[in-house]
Amino acid sequence: MPAGLAPGTLLGSWVTLRTECIDITALNPPPSPEEVFQYFQRLPLPQLATSQAPPGRGLSGLPVVFWTDTPSTQTFTVDIRGFAVVIVAEAERYDWHTGDPARPTLTTTDPGRAYPGQATEHLYRSGTYTASLTVTWGATFTVDGSAPADVPGTTTTDGPPVTFSVVEAAAVLTDPYD
């Protein structure tokens, strides 16, 4: 700065070198599907609980019915490098672990229903069994309100186990006049 001039003093006229809009998107591009997948895998998806009927004790020769009442769609909004990303996770597959070595897993695309509209059931021999549910989740996502896109890949959650007994009924003849 020349001597005797105060800071901010104009030394000459302004010269316009260039007037244009510059796209800075390349400096911070929207999240890629692979980047969204990394966030999707860490979301607190619910561990769906297994319900079964009859509760607590089944009867050999009659089916035990399985279902889950937990919502099968979850919506999350996450911030990825300043972008608002909405991830909609949906249960795609239900793996019902029966605890029965004869048929250890039943796979459905349905969360099941309680009796009488049951969709998932299993016949057991007498014994004690521990059943559980593994859910495979898929998802779509939007970035700052864009069109939805598929998240490339799935993730799973394991629900808490439920233990129950299956007993065998025995017919007993009695004298109705006793």
Distances (CA, A) of 169 to 58, 98, 125: 10, 21, 11
Q: Taking the complete model, does pTM exceed 0.85, yes or no?
A: no
Query: pLDDT tens for residues 115-129?
Result: 888 889 999 999 999
Structural contact between residues 86 and 38, judged by C-beta atoms closer than 8 angstroms: no
Q: Running DSSP on this structure, what letter comes out for residue 99?
A: S
Inform me whether the pLDDT recorded for 112 exceeds 70: yes
Largest CA distance in the chain: 127
Q: Which of 10-24, 32-46, 100-114, 130-144 has the lowest mean pLDDT?
A: 10-24
Could you give the CA distance from residue 16 to residue 127 in angstroms, rounded to a whole number? 87
Query: pLDDT tens for residues 32-89?
Result: 999 999 999 999 999 999 999 988 788 898 999 999 988 889 999 999 999 999 999 9
Q: Which of 4-18, 78-92, 109-123, 159-173 has the lowest mean pLDDT?
A: 4-18
